[in-house]
Structure 1
Amino acid sequence: MSCKSVSSLLVGGILCLVAGVAWAQTDPLPSWNDGEVKKSVTDFVARVTAEGGPDFVPAPERVAVFDNDGTLWTEQPFYFQGFFALDRVKAMAPQHPEWKTTQPFKAVLDGDMKALAGSGEKGLMQIIGVAHSGMTTDDFSKSVVDWLATARHPRFKRPYTELTYQPMLELLALLRSKGFKTFIVSAGGVEFMRPWTERVYGIPPEQVVGSSGVVTFRTDPSGKPILLKMPKIEFVDEGPGKPVGINRFIGRRPIFAFGNSDGDLQMLQWTTAGAGARFAGIVHHTDAEREYAYDRASKVGKLDQALDEGRARGWTVVDMKRDWRAVFKPEK
């Protein structure tokens, strides 16, 4: 081989390397593996933001909605808000000695998860009612922030807010860079999420839609106006409640929606029922090593009907193990 040929090969190799580095630096979704799933996302965003193109959507109509639990952060082995409620009950127990002999509170204090599960939805609602009421909205917000600062996930031993999915954080950033307005639409409590979503996801509190309890206006003994949380459910943002919540609190039908469970099915159906270009995505948890693997039989984040309908209708189904290069950010 001539010196000239060797030189050409070296130059070509360097140029390829430089081009590869440049692509890595400009790739908006570096934690997504290249393939059809990633392409479906980037192609959709490109189509609806190409001015003059057939699928162009004006910026005010670029509404994207995301479920939270299991879509933006981990939801196993139990919803994080559930862990918060259990810890709140333990912290409040000294003021309630009767809980030592009263279910479901006795199960919480004894760490008896089997008995707690046996109390069913009624027992869970009792716990949430106690843990999420009887205080002002400001005090509740502070309790959430304080808990997140110290609580750790039972498996990963990391703060819950570090168990957000890096690929989804990149997706949120990509959408916002292209003129989308991003919303959370979650079955989780709206006042549980709002204190931290802007810091963690870049989604401000006014763009969080969730389940809510009754809040009443009062004045405290000093005459200061307060909002007091009451032990009564007002709105459940789950299943068919999600399109209702979108209509009530957002006022525009989304063109982009991402969920991970049957509780998100109606939100995905509502999004894709609109005219023009539409995107529906599902996070399928298939990675037991890096996170969790579950779907049809899970009691938390069950994915059954939505998985079947998503595949039948050509929605984008993310296989976590195959499609995500990374799940979480590296530990600090």
Structure 2
Amino acid sequence: MKIDLKLTQIIIIVILFIFTFSNVAMAQTITGDPLPSWNEGTNKQTIINFVENVTDPENPNYVAPELRIATFDNDGTLWAEKPMYFQAAFSLSRIRELAPKFPEWKDKQPFKAVLENDQDYLANITVNELLEIAMVTHAGMSQKEFEQEAKEFLDTAKHPRFNQLYKQVIYQPMLELLTYLQNKQFKTYICSGGGLDFIRLFSEEAYDIAPENVIGSNIFKTYEIVSNHSQFIRQPQLIEPINDKAGKPVNIERFIGKKPMLAVGNSDGDIEMMQYTVIEHQPSLALLLHHDDEIREYRYTKGTEKALELAKEYNWKVISMKQDFKQVFSFTSE
């Protein structure tokens, strides 16, 4: 068979061109801005420098992939927490349904606030009160029944201000940070004071974090087989410690068994997790999200006062939503 040398040369040139172009495109993707919704500044550069250093085998601060652990709080860190915790919103209708069976609720907080629609009280509900509501309103039912109720809420309920599904009121810059870390072989975990079972229902869809990588507060369950069907029944008792404040490091050690090298939070409930991350542990980085943008989200410091003070002592990076976030949500919130 006669071979056309000129045609062969053309084919080789085309193949080389495609190969070179593909490598350039790949290099542009790799070297592109990993955090496009963050404004340029010290905090953004600190994050990028940290991640690039610990993932560069030639860097003295290099850390092997199996030790690249990052923990994120959820409420107020990955998604909004105002005007009230989203899980509390989920439980409110259930309280009203059950109220006739519990007349004492009309004089007992936080149930009194729910029944009277006391928005000022509910806006400042504590993690412990949230868990009490979740425990009382969803105990006695099967895990499957709970999941069906929660999924219906997450698929239909909308935020009262932004008119978006609650599961869409997520901070775009934090999603980018999660993706950046995941692409750099970090193992990303949620470490929240909120209910474990509730967060697991949307963590994979929302954050690309598998259910087994969620650490949260939880209640006891019993295991039963009924009519040849296995099920878990939710019991009115919390498993200690609650995953808040000093409970966070305890549960991180219990469920991960390794110290995080990056921790992200937004409140006094995250102090111990961030201390645990940075004390006697280098390289490490802790980020504290500060809600100071009343135009695009909310402005508040209540419940974060101590964390803001300790940030100076421990060199935690305070992320200003107003200054550091070019965009807050995937939708326009202004």
Alignment partner of 1:305 is 2:291 = no
Aligned residues: 302
Deviations 1:44-71 (A, max 9, x none): 0011001021100000000000000000
- Could you say which residue in structure 2 is the equivalent of 1:55? 61
- Alignment check: 8 A CA contact 2:131 2:195 kept: no
Please report the RMSD computed on the Cα atoms of aligned residues, expressed in angstroms.
2.5
- Could you say which residue in structure 1 is the equivalent of 2:100? 97
- Could you say which residue in structure 2 is the equivalent of 1:34? 40
What amino acid does structure 1 have at the position aligned with 2:56?
A
- Could you say which residue in structure 2 is the equivalent of 1:290? 296
What secondary structure sits across from 1:72 in the alignment? Answer: coil
Deviations 1:84-103 (A, max 9, x none): 1112223x34xx63456742
Structure 2 CA distance for aligned equivalents of residues 62 and 191 of structure 1: 25
1:1-332 counterparts in 2 under 5 A? 26-90=32-96, 92-93=97-98, 97-99=100-102, 102-103=105-106, 104=108, 105=111, 107-113=113-119, 126-220=132-226, 222-235=227-240, 236-295=242-301, 298=302, 302-330=303-331
Moved more, 71-80 or 128-137: 128-137
Deviations 1:207-255 (A, max 9, x none): 00000111111122x1322111101111300000000010001111000
CA distance change for structure 1 residues 116 and 286 in 2, over 3 Å: closer, same or farther?
Answer: closer
What amino acid does structure 1 have at the position aligned with 2:326?
R
Structure 2 CA distance for aligned equivalents of residues 224 and 42 of structure 1: 50
- Could you say which residue in structure 2 is the equivalent of 1:11? none
Structure 2 CA distance for aligned equivalents of residues 116 and 285 of structure 1: 18
CA distance change for structure 1 residues 331 and 63 in 2, over 3 Å: closer, same or farther?
Answer: same
Structure 2 CA distance for aligned equivalents of residues 45 and 124 of structure 1: 35
- Alignment check: 8 A CA contact 2:267 2:304 kept: yes
- Alignment check: 8 A CA contact 1:311 1:317 kept: no
- Alignment check: 8 A CA contact 1:116 1:123 kept: no
* TM-score under structure 2 length normalisation: 0.84
Structure 1 CA distance for aligned equivalents of residues 322 and 220 of structure 2: 40
Q: How far 1:129 moved relative to its partner?
A: 2.3
| Percentage of identical aligned residues | 41
CA distance change for structure 1 residues 330 and 25 in 2, over 3 Å: closer, same or farther?
Answer: farther
Gaps in structure 1 of 5+ consecutive residues: 1-21
What secondary structure sits across from 1:40 in the alignment? Answer: helix
What secondary structure sits across from 2:160 in the alignment? Answer: coil
- Alignment check: 8 A CA contact 1:253 1:274 kept: no
Structure 2 CA distance for aligned equivalents of residues 167 and 135 of structure 1: 37
CA distance change for structure 1 residues 125 and 168 in 2, over 3 Å: closer, same or farther?
Answer: closer
What amino acid does structure 2 have at the position aligned with 1:304?
E
Moved more, 232-241 or 304-313: 304-313
Q: How far 1:270 moved relative to its partner?
A: 0.3
- Alignment check: 8 A CA contact 1:100 1:106 kept: no
- Could you say which residue in structure 2 is the equivalent of 1:15? none
Gaps in structure 2 of 5+ consecutive residues: 1-27
- Alignment check: 8 A CA contact 2:84 2:124 kept: no
Q: How far 1:305 moved relative to its partner?
A: 1.4
Q: How far 1:274 moved relative to its partner?
A: 3.9
CA distance change for structure 1 residues 122 and 325 in 2, over 3 Å: closer, same or farther?
Answer: closer
- Alignment check: 8 A CA contact 1:24 1:30 kept: no
Structure 2 CA distance for aligned equivalents of residues 121 and 34 of structure 1: 34
